[in-house]
Homo-oligomer: A and B are copies of this chain.
Amino acid sequence: MIKLLQSLLLVMLTSIVFQANAATEDKPFAEHKVVLQISDSDPTKQTLVLNVANNLMKAYGGPDKVEVEIVAFGPGLRLMFDDNGNKGRISGLTDNGVRFAACGNTMKKMTSQLGHQPKLNSQASVVPAGVVRIIELVDQGYTLIKP
């Protein structure tokens, strides 16, 4: 009897380890979560990252099925400047639930370089550090793509 209980215990411990692994893959609100990074200066990358966000929406069937956040840092922050030519597209994507995060560290650096704080698109939220925001999202199960 004792032996049987011992094996039982061992078997159950093994199964607990397995289940702990399974539990971390939870995605409660959307079937897919994607964080798109933009950190290049090349303006064609701005178009590309917005195209990718759009394609994700179409492919997965809309905002209920996929969470998309675009995180900009370094020279990529320009995408989220108020006078950026993609403002209309950003607004359209925001209506579809896409979120825009702007790196606070880059803001500070650009402010000291420009002599004034750059005006950001009102759709963008400033986060303390873009890279830390990305890591946070990856830890929450987001797939990181840099188009």
- Bound-state CA distance A134–B147 (Å) is 11
Contacts A5-B8, A55-B131, A132-B59; A74 near B18 (Cβ below 8 A) = no
A56 touches B132 (CB 8 A): yes
Flag whether A105 is at the interface (Cβ < 8 A). yes
A48 interfacial by beta-carbon distance below 8 Å: yes
CB neighbours (8 Å) of A30 from chain B are none
Query: Majority SS of interface residues in chain A?
Result: helix
Interface residue ranges of A1-40 to B (CB < 8 Å) = 1-2, 4-5, 7-9, 11-23, 32, 34, 37, 39
Which among B138, B139, B147 is the interface contact of A74 at CB below 8 angstroms? B147
Known interface pairs A12-B15, A51-B105; 7 further A-B residue pairs with C-beta atoms within 8 A, sorted by A's residue number:
A15-B19, A19-B20, A20-B23, A39-B147, A44-B75, A59-B129, A59-B132
